């Protein structure tokens, strides 16, 4: 019998802004940037959420819903600093910590019960230490598996501690809406509604054959989850699963040359981060968001593991030309390195010695003076205003602070 915790920092980015500027306490804080510009909400304080503001919402919509909102740009270096501090607290209770994003992680504390007490006791101690040492509030779910622990941590935010007793997983999940369950998105919800299913308990009551016929192998997984069954282990890792950047344009763009220049800029930054983490990419993913928020992603493998901007950029441009819809304006473009591995495993690095020395010199300048201290001449006359999702992701989809 395992004891799994899911710890989730409440409204993390917004909470950091309030922590560093106490005059913001009790006010509707929205992290994402200028509300008059293009972009989306990265995080919203609970005061702002009362107006209907939530993560991934367009900033202009957030301003319309919450005209008294205090809009702030993201400070991701600060968020990473505090995230590392909190993750070190988690690691003091167990070495089995699996970060999911900057603000949440799974902990397997099964082997720590003798030293620290039951799961509920450990959860309470973690909440106390995080508040005392970082000034932040964390909600914790305790269960026998990751699925139930994750759902539990979200039920009584902010500052919640919810325990799912062993053997009561199915009963805990039964009254909750099916949208709480992993793998149930809008399409699945509509399909399940055809069977009269709106709660997880109703889903668990469907014959397994019905789910298999309707959803294939995914239906079998849904049936298991609806009964609170999840055998997935907590996998400790500090290495990102992906490294990517996105840019939201001030005005929708149809100029292919401008999109290519932007990809070059993004590829430079992605490659620099790969080298900073001693990683190499095996594949590249392109993301395009058109007007109206229609979003597509395309990915392809690189010819070889790489940490230089040139092959990443070249493949990004290839994907762009394959995916770009004619006569459609692009609102956002993103480039992500995936399939990461340790750069030390490359055969004496894939770049020639001279190129490797050059990139190391460039990285040294950027680390000392900032990412914009040195750039390609072709980009100097075409400076876009950047609003990036700038992070390394433990999981590929995680983009905004949704706690």
CA distance 331 to 352: 37
CATH 3.30.70.270 region(s) of the chain?
A: 1-166
**Out of 3.30.1490.100, 3.30.360.10, 3.40.640.10, 3.20.20.70, which CATH number does the structure's domain 242-393 have?**
3.30.1490.100
| From 47, 98, 104, 169, active-site residue | 104
CATH 1.10.150.20 region(s) of the chain?
A: 170-226
Per-residue pLDDT of the chain (403 residues; tens, 9 = 90+): 899 999 999 999 999 999 999 999 999 999 998 998 778 899 999 999 999 999 889 999 999 999 999 999 989 899 999 999 999 999 999 999 999 889 999 999 999 998 899 999 999 999 999 999 999 999 999 999 999 999 999 999 999 999 999 999 999 999 999 989 887 878 888 888 888 889 999 989 988 788 888 877 778 888 889 999 999 999 887 667 788 888 888 889 999 999 999 999 999 989 988 887 778 888 999 999 998 778 899 999 988 888 899 999 999 999 999 999 888 999 999 999 998 877 644 433 344 444 555 565 665 555 555 555 556 655 555 555 444 444 444 443 333 344 5
Token digits of residue 169: 């997983």
Closest CA to 313 of 379, 389, 393: 379
CATH 3.30.1490.100 region(s) of the chain?
A: 242-393
CA distance 392 to 245: 9
CA distance 74 to 220: 41
Q: Is 303 helix (H, G, I), strand (E, B) or coil?
A: strand
- pTM, to two decimals: 0.67
Q: How many CB atoms lie within 10 A of CB 184?
A: 21
| Residues paired with residue 6 on neighbouring β-strands, in sequence order | 106, 141
Q: Is 392 annotated in the active site? A: no
Which DSSP category does 234 fall into? P
State the architecture of 170-226 in CATH terms: Orthogonal Bundle (1.10)
Strand 161-163, strand 138-143: pairing: parallel
Query: Using only C-alpha atoms, what is the Rg of the chain?
Result: 23
| Residues paired with residue 71 on neighbouring β-strands, in sequence order | 30
> By the 8 A CB rule, do 141 and 6 touch?
yes
CATH T-level topology, domain 1-166? Alpha-Beta Plaits (3.30.70)
């Amino acid at each position: 019998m395992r004891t799994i915790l899911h710890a989730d920092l409440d409204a993390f980015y917004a909470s950091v802004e309030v922590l560093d500027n106490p005059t913001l306490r009790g006010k509707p804080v929205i992290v994402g940037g200028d509300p008059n510009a293009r972009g989306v909400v990265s995080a919203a304080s609970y005061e702002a959420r009362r107006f209907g503001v939530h993560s991934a919402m367009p900033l202009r919509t957030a301003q319309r819903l919450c005209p008294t909102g205090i809009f702030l740009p993201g400070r991701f270096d600060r968020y990473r600093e505090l995230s590392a501090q909190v993750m070190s607290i988690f690691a003091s209770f167990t070495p089995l910590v699996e970060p999911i994003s900057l603000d949440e992680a799974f902990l397997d504390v099964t082997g720590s019960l003798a030293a620290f007490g039951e799961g509920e006791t450990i959860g309470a101690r973690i909440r106390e230490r995080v508040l005392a040492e970082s000034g932040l509030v964390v909600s914790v779910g305790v269960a026998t598996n990751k699925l139930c622990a994750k759902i539990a941590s979200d039920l009584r935010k902010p500052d919640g501690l919810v325990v799912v007793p062993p053997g009561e997983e199915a009963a805990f999940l039964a009254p909750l809406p099916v949208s709480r369950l992993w793998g149930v998105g809008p399409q699945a919800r509509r399909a399940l509604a055809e069977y009269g299913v709106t709660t997880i308990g109703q889903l668990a009551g469907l014959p397994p054959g019905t789910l298999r016929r309707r959803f294939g192998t995914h239906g079998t997984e849904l049936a298991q989850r609806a009964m609170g069954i999840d055998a997935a282990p907590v996998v400790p890792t500090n290495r990102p699963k992906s490294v990517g950047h996105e840019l939201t344009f001030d005005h929708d763009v149809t100029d292919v040359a401008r999109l290519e220049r932007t990809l070059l800029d993004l590829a430079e930054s992605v490659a620099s981060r790969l080298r900073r983490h001693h990683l190499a990419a095996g594949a590249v993913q392109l993301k395009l968001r058109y007007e109206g928020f229609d979003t597509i992603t395309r990915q392809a493998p690189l010819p070889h593991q790489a940490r230089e901007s040139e092959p990443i950029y070249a493949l990004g441009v290839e994907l762009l030309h394959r995916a770009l819809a004619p006569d459609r304006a692009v609102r956002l473009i993103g480039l992500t390195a995936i399939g990461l591995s340790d750069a030390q495993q490359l055969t004496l690095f894939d770049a020639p010695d001279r190129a490797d020395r050059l990139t190391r010199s460039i990285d040294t300048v950027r680390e000392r003076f900032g990412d914009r201290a040195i750039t390609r001449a072709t980009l100097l006359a075409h400076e876009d205003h950047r609003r990036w999702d700038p992070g390394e992701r433990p999981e590929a989809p995680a983009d905004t602070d949704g706690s």
